[in-house]
Amino acid sequence: MRKKIINSCLIILLILSSGCWSSLNINDTAVCSGLGVDITDTGKISVMVQINKSVNPQNEEGKLTEGAFVVVSGSGDSITEASRKVTLSLPRMPIWSHADLFLLGENLVTEDLSILYDFLFRNRNIRKSSYALVANKASLGKIYNSDCPMALCSARGILKILFSQEKNLGIYLPVTIKDFFIMASTPGIDPFLPMVTVRKDLEDKDILTLDGTAIFKNNKMVGDLNETESRGLYWLNTKTAGSCIVVTLSDNPENKVSLQACKINSKIRPRIKDNELVMDITCNVDFNITEIIGIVDEEDEELMVKIQNAANKKVASHIRQAVAKGQKANSDFLGFGLSISRYQPKLWENIEDDWENRFPSVRTNIEVKSNLLRSNLIFNDVFLVNKKGGKP
């Protein structure tokens, strides 16, 4: 009996002695919505966190109050040190695992990105499924401190914008940290990231907006894609079709047709032609007609061909511009090398070391096939029907 008592005492002691080391009271925590890393002018690394204030459900207005977030930053010699310095001015423990946004500062991307990779993947608190963006022509603080209408805070606002434009407009591609990391660590492809900036709106207020895509080479940002070039990237990489373009018909520049892509299927394949490497870029797109400006007769079969041709040309030009930009900056963000390594592994083994020099001069062959699927609620141009006085 005595032995049993001693044993159970020992067990209880063992259990109790463990205490609650890793426990953390929820009131001592702060939820981060966004993180950011940059290099200051003095060469130190600075880390900035945007923190959400808690939302009281019993708040009768039920509205998001102004200043629902705070932005805190710290700086140090390494990212870890800088992020720990944040606690110097924050009475609570910032919880990073809720942060959906990871912002890279302009200085950081133009100087050296390699300091970031290790930290990103070694640190368990950073969610690899959160999204990375580059701050363009604005400091991190400015972006995190500016307002985003109808959003809890700018970090979440940017993300929502990123997703919704991918679905409805189709210019920029969201890139998760995981994807970014994969692109950076896989030979034959260079990473790209969408960029965010602050611009003045009509009432001269600061608002956040997406602006361009940053492309990288050797851990450095080597250029940026403008809207058109970003679209080229979009056509070749997106998984959510929904891009919207406006094409001008060749015979009548007045006629403008808005098309929305509903299915995009694109491929990049290497081909050897006459001992020369050619990248075949094919892109099949299904479009819906969403708007027509000008007088057109939709039942005219030639018109459909015309629209398709115009769309083909437009998409091809987007892609061509993107490729040209990439080759100019020597950044293989479209993954030509990766495609070679996948489909011509033997060839890739030979040219892998020399790929950097070969890439700018690789020939491409862009082929776009578009197909009109639906014309939404009306068959014919309203204007045309009215003129003829009823359906022909």
Chain residues binding other proteins by CB under 8 A are: 11, 14-27, 29, 31, 33, 52-57, 95, 97-98, 100, 121, 124-125, 127-129, 176, 178-179, 181-182, 185-187, 239, 341-343, 345
Residue closer to other proteins by CB (options 96, 359) is: 96
Question: CB 97 → other proteins: shortest distance, Å?
Answer: 3
Cβ contact 388:356 at 8 Å? no
Residue written as tokens 């490729």?
323
Cα(151)–Cα(155) distance, integer angstroms: 9
What's the start-to-end Cα distance of the chain, in Å? 103
Token output for 54: 């808690």
Question: CB 7 → other proteins: shortest distance, Å?
Answer: 10
CA-CA-CA-CA torsion sign (169, 172, 173, 174): negative
Residue closer to other proteins by CB (options 146, 186) is: 186
3-state secondary structure of 373: strand
Residue closer to other proteins by CB (options 225, 340) is: 340
- Give, for 36, the enclosing helix (H) or strand (E): strand 29-39
3-state secondary structure of 149: coil
Question: CB 21 → other proteins: shortest distance, Å?
Answer: 4
Question: CB 219 → other proteins: shortest distance, Å?
Answer: 15
Residue closer to other proteins by CB (options 25, 361) is: 25
Cα(323)–Cα(280) distance, integer angstroms: 12
Residue closer to other proteins by CB (options 95, 351) is: 95
Residue closer to other proteins by CB (options 156, 325) is: 156
Question: CB 56 → other proteins: shortest distance, Å?
Answer: 4
Backbone torsion region of residue 194, taken as left when φ is above 0, otherwise alpha when ψ lies between -120 and 50, otherwise beta: beta
Residue written as tokens 């047709």?
257
Question: CB 13 → other proteins: shortest distance, Å?
Answer: 11
Residue closer to other proteins by CB (options 38, 100) is: 100
Question: CB 32 → other proteins: shortest distance, Å?
Answer: 10
Cβ contact 32:51 at 8 Å? yes
H-helix segments, the chain: 2-17, 79-85, 106-111, 114-122, 140-145, 154-168, 177-185, 227-237, 301-329, 336-343, 345-351, 355-358, 382-388
Residue closer to other proteins by CB (options 115, 384) is: 115
Question: CB 48 → other proteins: shortest distance, Å?
Answer: 19
